[in-house]
């Protein structure tokens, strides 16, 4: 009557789950560490872009002149003012 009891089925089922868990645990840990490293790198990248990501005033001035917002005289005057600072 070996193998026909209630306890034998549960113990083998628990043994199977423990084996599966012990095989998946290292994979879960590695995936978690990789995720944390990637998220930290993305956060650092966003912070560095935030500090120097703003266009310089001369670029803004050139865009305004190119779009026709300001005249050539205004552009030259503002450009000279920006370059003398």
pLDDT tens for residues 42-72?
888 877 655 566 778 888 999 999 999 999 9
Among residues 54, 56, 53, the alpha carbon closest in space to that of 45 is found at 53
Half-sphere exposure of 79 (CA within 13 A, CB side): 13
- CA-to-CA distance for 67 and 40, rounded, in angstroms? 39
pLDDT of residue 71: 94
Would you state the pLDDT for residue 48? 65
Domain positions in the chain are: 1-53, 55-85
> pLDDT exceeding 70 applies to what percent of the chain?
80
């Amino acid at each position: 009557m070996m193998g026909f009891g209630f306890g034998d089925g549960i113990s083998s089922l628990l043994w199977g789950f423990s084996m599966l868990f012990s095989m998946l645990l290292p994979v879960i840990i590695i995936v978690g560490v990789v995720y944390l490293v990637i998220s930290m790198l993305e956060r650092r990248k966003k912070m560095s872009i935030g500090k120097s990501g703003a266009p310089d005033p001369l670029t803004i001035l050139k865009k305004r002149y190119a779009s026709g917002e300001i005249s050539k005289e205004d552009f030259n005057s503002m450009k000279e003012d920006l370059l003398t600072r």
